[in-house]
Amino acid sequence: MNIYVSNLSWGTQSDSLLDLFAQFGEVTSANVIMDRESGRSRGFGFVEMPDDAEAQNAIEKLNQTEFEGKVINVSVARPRAEKPSYGGGYGNNRGGNGGYGNNRRRY
C-alpha cells in the first residue's frame, strides 16, 4: 500500500520517515519529496508497505501525531491524476494560430 504523509518538518529525511513506519511492519520504501532549488523537504512524502493490514494500522496510529516537531497527516495515497499531454507544433487543437483565432481570416 502506498501511504501519503503531509505536514512534515522541513528537516525531515527519508531515513527518519522509514524508521517511523518500520515500527508497524515492513517498509518497502520511504521518500520525502525534496525541493529541487533549495534542497529541503517540500513538507510531504510517500511510504510504501507491502502488507495492507500493517499499512492501515500505521495510518490509524500515526495520523494526527507529532513527528519531528509537527503534527503529521497520514492517509492512503491516491493514484496520480493523468495530466493531458499537449504535443507541440501544429494541430494540437489549442488555438495557437500565431495569435489569430481559428475562424478569422488573415489579410
Domains within the chain, CATH numbers bracketed: 2-75 (3.30.70.330)
pLDDT in the model for residue 2: 97
Q: Distance (Å, rounded) from C-alpha 72 to C-alpha 80? A: 21
Nine-digit cell string for 68:
519531528
Side-chain-side CA neighbours of residue 89 (13 Å): 2
pLDDT in the model for residue 18: 97
The pLDDT confidence band at residue 8, using thresholds 50, 70 and 90, is: very high
pLDDT digits (tens, 9 = 90+) for 65-82: 999 999 999 999 988 777
Please compute the mean of the pLDDT values over residues 88-96 and round it to a whole number: 54
Mean pLDDT of the chain: 86
Opening angle at CA 31, ends 26 and 34, nearest 5 = 165
Nine-digit cell string for 30:
520511504
C-alpha to C-alpha distances, 70 to 25, 33, 43, 97, nearest whole angstrom: 23, 17, 10, 50
pLDDT in the model for residue 41: 85
Q: Please tell me whether the overall predicted TM-score, pTM, comes out greater than 0.75 for this model.
A: no
Nearest to 59 by CA among 44, 77, 43, 42: 77
Query: Do the Cβ atoms of 67 and 37 come closer than 8 Å?
Result: no
